Amino acid sequence: VNYLLSMVFIIYNLKLLIIMATKKKVVKKKKDIKISAGILYVQTTNNNTIVTLTTAEGAKVLWWGAGTQNFKWSKKSTPYAAEVLTKSILQEGKNYGLERVGIVFRGTGMAREGVFKAINETGMVDIEYIHEDTGIQFGGCKGIRPKRN
């Protein structure tokens, strides 16, 4: 009886393994996003450059940092890294039907020239507007009091 039960158990487990092995993987299809006009957010810091492409309503479509283009350490904040990054974002955005773009800059990094150079060289999109959105510091913490002698 024990032998019979163990054989039934083994056969049942083999059926489960066969079913699990033949199960098809479900591959999610990419959404068909079509945008004709978008906004290119360029965030530049002293250490990195991040470029984000959104729809006109503000929904993110693509976003990459300079590290995705194999720039490491201090090379990520260079104008050349921003140029390569912007070219790749615009080429990928062209697959979504991008024709016009507005540019919003944030930060104080060096990458601004690289972004303009990339847009002018590729000629893929028309620039609708350029907006500066860098924050200006005001107020802040209480300063250090002067020493008494």
pTM of the full predicted structure? 0.70
Fill in the amino acid letter for 66: A
Report whether pLDDT(28) > 60.
Answer: no
| 12-26, 41-55, 65-79, 103-117: least confident range | 12-26
